Amino acid sequence: MSHDVILEAKGLTKEFEGFTAVNNVDLRVRRGSIHALIGPNGAGKTTLFSLLTRFLSATRGTIRFNGQDITRAHPADIARRGLVRSFQISAVYPKLSVLENVRLGLQRRVGSSFEFWRRESSLHGLNARAHELIDAVGLSSFVGHTAEELPYGRKRALEIAATLALDPEMMLLDEPTAGMGHEDIFKIAELIKQVAANRTVLVVEHNLNVVAHLSDTITVLQRGAILAEGTYADVSNNPAVREAYMGTGHA
């Protein structure tokens, strides 16, 4: 595994009672890149994410992260190694406020989240950074709201802020702009670009404008297998990809 490749899956396969949702996928994600995973509904994108973060066990295949075999690692161990999925929201608690949720993520990163005896004053030291992250995802006017009170799009923004608070080496974002209005989509896309400056991002995204804007590399899945891979120009000019997208409303 080359040093440039942070995450590598080989022959990854997931069968559900005879149905193959992910079929012999070889995926290499370059360190520092934004890599998008696209494909029609049911192509296996979410299943692939779940395999990579070990929310699901693969039927076959191997996964290496930073050169180490994580094929059988526990999901929490994978997160600790720096591979964090955005909705892995042990990071978002519905009854806690936006500020508390993001601050908790920051505390986890410094390894103090379970030190409940820590003085309230020490928490305030984290507030400035928490407010920065909250501001960056456009949630400043929702600071005191509980996570469960937020509208859907804002909740997704909070998930991203909470994930960023953990400062992962690699982030897996599962449809980060889903359910968002046009303005929020643009803000989130910019934010992803900004945070990707010093980390690796693998993103499942349906909005092809966002994909075109963000991605260094795009992998197109169809029926669980890789149909094409390359830059946006490469894949969007690929006849097989055009065919796969016809009639899906995403073209």
Residues contributing to the site for ligand ATP (CB under 6 A) = 16, 19, 21, 39, 41-47
CB of 204 to ligand ATP, least distance (A): 7
CB of 52 to ligand ATP, least distance (A): 12
Selection from 117, 12, 11 nearest residue 58 by Cα: 12
What is the rounded distance in angstroms from the CA atom of residue 159 to the CA atom of residue 11? 31
What is the rounded distance in angstroms from the CA atom of residue 202 to the CA atom of residue 30? 10
CB of 39 to ligand ATP, least distance (A): 5
Residue 16 or 183 with smaller CB distance to ligand ATP: 16
Element (H, E) at 52: helix 45-52
CB of 87 to ligand ATP, least distance (A): 13
Residue 27 or 134 with smaller CB distance to ligand ATP: 27
Residue 217 or 222 with smaller CB distance to ligand ATP: 222
Element (H, E) at 207: none
Name 237's Cβ contacts closer than 8 Å, sequence gap at least 6. Answer: none
What is the rounded distance in angstroms from the CA atom of residue 87 to the CA atom of residue 91? 8
Q: Is 20 exposed, middle or buried (0-12, 13-18, 19+ CB in 10 A)?
A: middle
What is the rounded distance in angstroms from the CA atom of residue 133 to the CA atom of residue 26? 34
CB of 9 to ligand ATP, least distance (A): 14
Residue 58 or 136 with smaller CB distance to ligand ATP: 58
Residue 187 or 223 with smaller CB distance to ligand ATP: 223
